[in-house]
Structure 1
């Protein structure tokens, strides 16, 4: 209720700030490099928005997909295969549409990095969760995914690019998105929510790229380490991959 009242009271200012940010923000490209690599017994499918696509890193080796594969390879002492299906600007519904038309390789683990654009575009969280559930089901049916890690929306209240009160408003909306996300996967042990590392939540600005909106290479490396630990534990629990 408080958030709705704030939206009504601050509406014109929030709209103006949002348009100004879109018009003046530094636009960085998606990370260069291949979007899939063959590997060994463990195979990843990474789906998402600009953060999954590696905006803020020069090459996929420094972005989420590459760093996650490297982190898992160190733990497993064997190659890890991965496929990346991600596009800047995508919300959950757009990511689902892209995945529906993609040629998918077999995968054991799905990692999704979505939510920021749903928050920015004011998509009702329940609608985003319906698209996420369909995306998860599609990945299981077509790629054989057995374990899904859904990354929570980041702490948008700490994004240097965003002015106040837009920063506060998006931060509250991101927290609401995450609460609905957690509720939507409750009771499903093969699906879990992954929050960003504490360092990225408490010192987000220091780990961001020059645009003040996306992780830089150090941020992607920290994020990948958290995901790698959870993947190993999840696979061990599920007995999904030896």
Structure 2
């Protein structure tokens, strides 16, 4: 059994730079601080998606999505959501294809990377569609395509978009109000898609008064945008509480042969 991040590429991929460049332009125009924006880009640059390789694993998990799938904001890969799953379920094989900056339209490319079979597909994406002002009218078709591909690779599919982006310390009013409105709309679309397709959905969206990320700044990474170690712990707890994964992952609580 080996737990390790994906090997760092020899250079930062041009498409990722373009993605963050587009986000930077929108956020700077909206008045966000250069310092916070620089910190967010640096965290993305330094992040690595955790992989957990287990021979003859009783459960195989594929993670796809954006920077939250990668674990950007965590102090190390093992503190990311994937890392927390690997620690709690040492017999769980994890392949993580998450990419910083990925939108819902780009997630199908991650799913199409191979035809390997898994037991579970977990998608963490949608936040970039909110922040980068993507047309949310296209979200249902993107989600249907994602679920179609995920179902072809696993019997269990869970959709877990980021929470209320408007509550992130990164944003200030009135931009934060707009981001909250877009996050609310995104979650409604993901919920509808999950019901339509018969797959799992984890609702991380909360209004400001009920959102632990708004009440406890320590749950946010230093860029004020991504979850911190504690933030990913909250997501981990919500994932197990709101889905069937706790039961589904039970056989992986120990390593094969132990």
Q: Normalising TM by the smaller chain, what interval?
A: 0.7 to 0.9
Alpha-carbon contact 1:17-1:163 (below 8 Å) kept: no
Partner residue of 2:245 out of 232, 235, 242: 232
Match of 1:38 in 2: 54
Structure 2's unaligned 5+ residue stretches are 1-24, 250-258
* Other structure's SS at 2:224 match: coil
* Other structure's SS at 1:86 match: coil
The number of equivalent residue pairs is 214
Distance 2:101 2:141 in 1: 19
Match of 2:104 in 1: 92
Alpha-carbon contact 1:31-1:53 (below 8 Å) kept: yes
The residue correspondences of 1:62-101 to structure 2 (distance < 5 A) are 62-71=79-88, 73=89, 79-100=91-112
Alpha-carbon contact 2:108-2:146 (below 8 Å) kept: yes
* Other structure's SS at 1:186 match: helix
Structure 1's unaligned 5+ residue stretches are 1-13, 237-242
* Other structure's SS at 2:74 match: coil
Partner residue of 2:219 out of 204, 207, 227: 207
Distance 1:19 1:35 in 2: 36
Distance 2:116 2:124 in 1: 19
Deviations 1:103-149 (A, max 9, x none): 354211111111111112222334123122212221222x3x11111
- State TM-score, norm by structure 2: 0.73
The residue correspondences of 1:117-132 to structure 2 (distance < 5 A) are 117-132=128-143
Q: CA deviation at 1:178?
A: 0.7
* Other structure's SS at 2:32 match: helix
Distance 1:91 1:184 in 2: 16
Q: CA RMSD in A?
A: 2.7
List structure 1 runs of 4+ shifted beyond 6 angstroms.
none
Alpha-carbon contact 1:33-1:59 (below 8 Å) kept: no
In 2 relative to 1, CA 124–65 (structure 1 residues): closer, same or farther, beyond 3 Å?
Answer: same
Distance 2:83 2:167 in 1: 25
